[in-house]
Amino acid sequence: MDEIYDVVVIGGGPVGENVADYAIRGSDRTAAVIEHELMGGECSYWACMPSKALLGPGAALAGARALAGARERVSGERPDPAAVLGWRDTVTSRDDSGLGHDDAGQVRWAEGAGVHVLRGHGRISGERQVTVGDTVVTARHAVVVATGSTASIPPTPGLAEANPWTSRDATNVVEIPDRILVLGGGVVACEAVTWLLDLGVRQVVMAIRGDRLLPKMESFVSQRIADSLRARGADIRFGTTIESVDRPDAAHTGYGRIHGGPATVRLAGDGAGDVVVDEILVAAGRSPATGDLGLETVGLAPGRPIGVDDQLTVADRSWLYAVGDVNGRNALTHMGKYQARVAGDVIAARAEGRSLDDPRFVASADHGAVPQVVFTRPGVASVGVTEQQARDSGVDVRVADGDISVAGSYLVDADYSGHACLVVDATRDVLVGATFVGAQTAELVHSATVAIVGEVPLSRLWHAVPSYPTVSEVWLRLLDQLR
């Protein structure tokens, strides 16, 4: 059987859903999304949504303990594990199906948006063609690759054979290990350690090759997150790698279950020594999921990021687009959805013969206005470049930084601990980076994002008055340093 649509998207996560929607919205064009697992993708079932569901109860409990009148009503030190996992299951529509989740709601949304869902593994089989099983699907206007990424496991002796956890296991935890070793110090590792400690894991060892956590952020971020995790019992070992793993009873028991018997992990470097744990979590990066997509049929290398321009189009292939993790630009769900909106608008404009001479058709935010929130305790929110990144790129840098100590933060916690930093291009007198650490700082980052994207001069930004008493008063303190 052959089928024809105007737009064919490989990958049914939030990125794929959005590009299909934007490409056909308000028109008579047709779109199909091909998904081999679950509509809603990694974010809905194995990443953003379950991780934040696991982190929320601990954060709420910490917030209550910080305030007199609330702390007296708090009866436990940690959230109730069974209730936390139950909330996670509700958020992710977990069920007893083979994949553990029900995506019926996501399918209904797609169909309501006029997007047809095709089940199966899609492979590009020619120009504007994708093969799914015995069906060849042809696109009149565009084929979009939105297959995301997969967790990487380093080629350490015995590690893969030990069947370690990846992020999918950590977010879908069913059996809580007593002892766990976490490889990595990035966002996934730091957030996972936060909720694993909430759930009652007794021993957590973090093996980190470098000298700090969250190495792409300002250096003060690492120190504050490391101090917090250590205070809660985490054993953080910088300058440390896994030399070998021995787990003779490794078993495939399913996502979130302990994968066999204890593992002996030999660590090398500054934190050298043997560690015996019940589970290993590998949080050492992700790779674009492009290995079995038929890219070679159109002259592209499988297993590598798909290079695109700022309209998310593959060079010399005006019909082929790549959005989200697969293009290697930004491995963040909200940035993938942003790219999807741009790509969808570009596809629609090209299909209708309209000009692309408008900023909405250019994915410019990828190049210096990428916001990110890390849901640790304290939380981290950042956008743009760090001070060092700005200096390395030749920017004439001015910096305003300091602890967050305002009336609004005191009302959140009398012992509030937070820090903020603004990075300014002194030549243009505009903000190019901002980082905030502390409770409730996630809600500060969008104002910084708007200031960076809009290139708002500091003389004008001074008139954006923060409400009193809120944590956002820190903006006034920082801008005062730059007068």
Identity of the residue numbered 270: D
Distances (CA, A) of 212 to 219, 220, 242, 312, 470: 8, 10, 17, 33, 31
Q: What is the pLDDT of residue 373?
A: 98
pLDDT (tens digit per residue) in 355-393: 999 999 999 999 999 999 999 999 999 999 999 999 999
> Is 455 within 8 Å of 464 (Cβ atoms)?
no
Would you write out the chain's pLDDT as a tens digit for each of its 483 residues? 699 999 999 999 999 999 999 999 999 999 999 999 999 999 999 999 999 999 999 999 999 999 999 999 999 889 999 999 999 999 999 887 656 899 999 999 999 999 999 999 999 999 999 999 999 999 999 999 999 999 999 999 999 999 999 999 999 999 999 999 999 999 999 999 999 999 999 999 999 999 999 999 999 999 999 999 999 999 999 999 999 999 999 999 999 999 999 999 999 999 999 999 999 999 999 999 999 999 999 999 999 999 999 999 999 999 999 999 999 999 999 999 999 999 999 999 999 999 999 999 999 999 999 999 999 999 999 999 999 999 999 999 999 999 999 999 999 999 999 999 999 999 999 999 999 999 999 999 999 999 999 999 999 999 999 999 999 999 999 999 998
Q: What is the pLDDT of residue 213?
A: 98
pLDDT (tens digit per residue) in 40-71: 999 999 999 999 999 999 999 999 999 999 99
Q: What is the pLDDT of residue 271?
A: 97
Cis check for the bond before 469: say yes or no (omega within 30 of 0). yes
Q: How many CB atoms lie within 10 A of CB 413?
A: 18
What gap in Å lies between CA 97 and CA 102, rounded to an integer?
A: 7
Identity of the residue numbered 363: A
